[in-house]
């Protein structure tokens, strides 16, 4: 098992850029996840639904954020991960994933129940943007080493 990363408030991995999002990206993700909603592949259905074009499934870009986080801290150190979908992602969008530590607390044991064994837990704010627009906001609780 990897050792926890050393963190401090304001720390985070280098941003990750993905895209432009292509129909092939969407088809591959649909095949892997079984999400064949016509919003992701049928332009006529999409237009009748009021969207200007095919949209990528939310779990695809939530996975992009999760990849950034797990590559940085190690999947074994992620205790909580949640996202809120803010805006759709369209074909051609270029996405930027970023993460920043917003708090560091020593004394937890990593399971969130407050019984404490000295484990340092960091709260990480996650954002996925397309240009100036936010597509996803998220947060995670991770086991970390404190540099304080």
CATH classification (class only), 6-146: alpha beta
User: What's the pLDDT at 37?
Assistant: 85
User: What's the pLDDT at 147?
Assistant: 60
Structure-token pair, residue 19: 């895209």
Indicate the domain borders of the chain.
Answer: 6-146
Q: What is the tens place of the pLDDT at every residue in 39-87?
A: 888 889 989 999 899 999 999 999 999 999 999 999 999 999 999 999 9
Q: What is the tens place of the pLDDT at every residue in 97-117?
A: 999 999 999 865 555 444 456
């Amino acid at each position: 098992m990897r050792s926890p990363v050393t963190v401090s408030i304001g720390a985070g991995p280098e941003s990750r850029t993905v895209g432009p999002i292509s129909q092939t990206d969407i088809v591959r993700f649909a095949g892997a996840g079984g999400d064949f909603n016509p919003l992701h592949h049928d332009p006529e259905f999409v237009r009748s639904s009021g969207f200007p074009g095919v949209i990528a499934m939310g779990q695809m870009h939530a996975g992009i954020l999760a990849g950034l986080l797990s590559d940085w801290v190690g999947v074994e150190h992620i205790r909580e991960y949640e996202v809120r979908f803010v805006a759709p992602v369209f074909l051609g969008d270029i996405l930027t994933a970023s993460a920043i530590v917003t708090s560091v607390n020593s004394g937890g044991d990593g399971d969130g129940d407050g019984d404490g064994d000295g484990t340092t837990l960091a709260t990480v704010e996650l954002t996925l943007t397309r240009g100036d627009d936010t597509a996803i906001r998220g947060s995670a609780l991770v086991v970390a080493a404190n540099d304080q």
